[in-house]
Amino acid sequence: MNTFGFLKVAVASPNVIVGDVQANAQSIAQVLEQLRKEQVQIAVFPELCLTGYTCGDLFQQQVLLEEARKALDTLAGQTKGMMVYVGLPMRGANGALYNCAALLNGDKNNIRIYAKTFLPNYSEFYEARWFTPYHGEPGLFPGYREGGLVQTDILPEAVVGCELCEDLWVPASPSLRQTLQGATVVVNLSAGNEVIGKADYRRELVRMTSAKQVCCYLYASAGMGESTQDTVYSGHSLIAENGIILAEKKPFDPTRTYITTEIDLQRIQHERMRMVTFTQGDTPLPFHFETAEVEKIKNNTLTRAVAGHPFVPTDQQERSRRAKEITEMQAWGLARRIAHTKVPQVVVGISGGLDSTLALLVSCQAFDLLGKDRKDIIGITMPGFGTTGRTYENAKALVKECGATLVEIPIRDAATQHLKDLNHALDVYDITYENAQARERTQVLFDYANMHQAIVVGTGDLSELALGWCTYNGDHMSNYGVNASIPKTLVRYLVRYFAEEAFAGNPTLVNVLHDIIETPVSPELLPPDKNGQIAQKTENSIGSYLLHDFILYYVLRYGFRPSKIYFLAKTAMAQGTLEVFNDQVLKETMRTFYRRFFGQQFKRSCMPDGVKVGTVCLSPRGDWRMPSDASAALWLREVDQC
């Protein structure tokens, strides 16, 4: 897993007995033994965990301070191959007392000390009574190495910074400078108490800090063993990665001492590379990393969840919220284009398939937003050589139940004449046979739009654009493409959202939509089978859209290499979040994706306008600029080596 940029991390909140350093060190050692078995490489414990955070004036007792330093040296010997952060009070060379974090990495000669910068001294906090804020004084802790950024020896992308509790809550956190200096991981040893609403605020603060600073943030908080004389502590601990909570130990959870997951440093690297503003600061910052030895993970079992359908949320409520948000963006984009062009009507080609269905439903929403009559939405169905009774009837019923105007213009005769003009046999079902129909349909749509001062609403989706599964200057073209950044797996769900929520009050329409959802994806350009059923099924030709969308997401969103995408796909299958495909199918689908993605760029270079609704888009005017003659050889070679 380290090869792919993953690092196994943990945050722990073991039982603490206030003032009993030996017992606390033993608890930490027991947790470390468990974490080692789980091959954890970075472990973070709470603030002042060797003594307890709520010691009060006991912090000024010599025996407590000396025992804490002895325990630190002892624990260090149990951390070979791991980076372990623990908290303790330490006297500085100037005689002042500091609230410190210690990084342990193999032996007592390797201990690095970090001191807390910002000391809370308000409400229930009195840290300034005992501790002194750290201002970067050199040589403050003789016999120990100074803190700073630490880079793991096995994973150069993993550069770790450190701050303590309140440091996170202030406007200019130490971690802000650390991440600008190259830290990709920030650990926080904390002892935040609980009051009403604080857990939610803390969760959002950690999550958004990881997002703003484009880093992984490991937050370990003091647990229920702390004194409850005036405050209560819950052990609420979090691991976040670039705005996503990967793992959480809920407040007051007595069943868990620690949480673990894998963080993905290649994701962080990609985001910082993509966001060119990340490094646009006014003052150049120095880059200097110490090195820590970390053992490699010996197996390739990933415990963090891998979304098998990355474009579609797994939670039902989140899916509904996301679907509403997406369709509103689509509708508002189209409404703005209609208002700007001042056209009285729009034209949508209706096939009875998923994409054209979504385009029509979005058009209805746009007209509702504008207060326009849906009868000015012209749904044109154009039966051809491959049209089946099922899709034909669904297309007509869909337009009727939406309150739009249905126009039927068969293209069989026009396509037949065109093929005869080309001296093309009518029983040769090649690419010319298919594209003649696709371009005829597009000609009909544009010419009808010209006649009625309308614009053509495009139906093609993101997955088709990525694979070039569209006819150049055929269904590839429109005046405005509402589905241009919607992948096929999401199209299917959005149509289901309309059926089950947005348009649920029309049972006839709901039945039509459900049947469209169950209809195989097909351009219907080849004749039906002997039973009148769809013979040309897209996924039989190019592979499953489930796999293509999975690959598409990680290629475009994070720039991952084929071997890592292969690894993630196998992991998602093992976790049950992605349907199981055998190895041969997975690799062949990956080959198909890369061959088509590179070879079909010329279609994307001149794609029509369309609203962007997600983080992944292929518009040449927005997210994706690529030469049409780039080679896929490097990517295909790596697929073959998987």
Torsion sign, CA atoms 518, 522, 524, 528: negative
Tokens representing 548? 């293509």
Query: Is 104 contained in some domain?
Result: yes
Query: Is 303 contained in some domain?
Result: no
**What is the predicted pLDDT for the residue at 285?**
67
**What is the predicted pLDDT for the residue at 278?**
86
**What is the predicted pLDDT for the residue at 623?**
84
**What is the predicted pLDDT for the residue at 280?**
81
DSSP state at residue 171 = S
Within 13 A of 239's CA, how many CA atoms are on the CB side? 22
Mean pLDDT value of segment 241-246? 97
Contact indicator for 160, 187 with CB cutoff of 8 Å: yes
Decide if pLDDT at 438 tops 90.
yes
Decide if pLDDT at 244 tops 90.
yes
255 and 330: one domain? no
- Beta strand 480-481 with 97-104: parallel, antiparallel or unpaired? unpaired
455 and 516: one domain? yes
User: What are 10's strand-pairing partners?
Assistant: 43, 260
Place of tokens 């009507």: 345
Edge-first strand order for the sheet with 150-152 is 244-249, 237-241, 216-221, 185-190, 159-164, 150-152, 290-292
Query: Is 300 contained in some domain?
Result: no
Q: pLDDT-based confidence at 616, cuts 50/70/90?
A: confident
Contact indicator for 89, 97 with CB cutoff of 8 Å: yes
Q: Final residue of a domain: which of 227, 259, 292?
A: 292
Query: What's the mean pLDDT when you consider all of the chain?
Result: 94
User: What are 6's strand-pairing partners?
Assistant: 264
Domain count, the chain: 2
Query: Is 304 contained in some domain?
Result: no
Question: 258-317: per-residue pLDDT in tens?
Answer: 999 999 999 999 999 999 888 887 665 677 788 899 999 888 889 999 999 999 998 999
User: What are 277's strand-pairing partners?
Assistant: none
- Exactly one of 47, 67, 127, 434 is catalytic; name it: 47
Whether residue 296 lies in the annotated active site: no
503 and 601: one domain? yes
- Exactly one of 116, 249, 488, 564 is catalytic; name it: 116
Q: pLDDT-based confidence at 229, cuts 50/70/90?
A: confident
Contacts of 174 (CB under 8 A, 6+ apart): 117, 161, 163, 167
**What is the predicted pLDDT for the residue at 282?**
66
Whether residue 47 lies in the annotated active site: yes
Question: 39-49: per-residue pLDDT in tens?
Answer: 999 999 999 99
- Beta strand 237-241 with 216-221: parallel, antiparallel or unpaired? antiparallel
Range of the domain at 366: 316-641
Query: Is 307 contained in some domain?
Result: no
263 and 338: one domain? no
Place of tokens 């929520």: 501
282 and 341: one domain? no
240 and 117: one domain? yes
Q: What is the pTM of this model?
A: 0.90
Q: Final residue of a domain: which of 225, 260, 292?
A: 292
CATH number of the domain at 350, please.
3.40.50.620
Whether residue 116 lies in the annotated active site: yes
- How many CB atoms are closer than 10 A to CB 524? 24
How far apart CA 584 and CA 259 sit, in angstroms, is 36
Q: pLDDT-based confidence at 361, cuts 50/70/90?
A: very high
- Exactly one of 165, 364, 402, 470 is catalytic; name it: 165
Query: Is 136 contained in some domain?
Result: yes
Q: 349 φ, ψ to 5°?
A: -80, 125
**What is the predicted pLDDT for the residue at 283?**
61
Decide if pLDDT at 504 tops 90.
no
223 and 120: one domain? yes
272 and 343: one domain? no
Query: Is 297 contained in some domain?
Result: no
Q: 189 φ, ψ to 5°?
A: -95, 115
CATH number of the domain at 244, please.
3.60.110.10
269 and 321: one domain? no
380 and 482: one domain? yes
112 and 257: one domain? yes
Coil, strand or helix at 610: strand
324 and 451: one domain? yes
**What is the predicted pLDDT for the residue at 26?**
97
Question: 544-601: per-residue pLDDT in tens?
Answer: 999 999 999 999 999 999 999 999 999 999 999 999 999 999 999 999 999 999 999 9
Decide if pLDDT at 380 tops 70.
yes
Query: Is 211 contained in some domain?
Result: yes
C-alpha pair distances (Å), 433 with each of 472, 538, 606: 14, 16, 24
Contact indicator for 161, 288 with CB cutoff of 8 Å: no
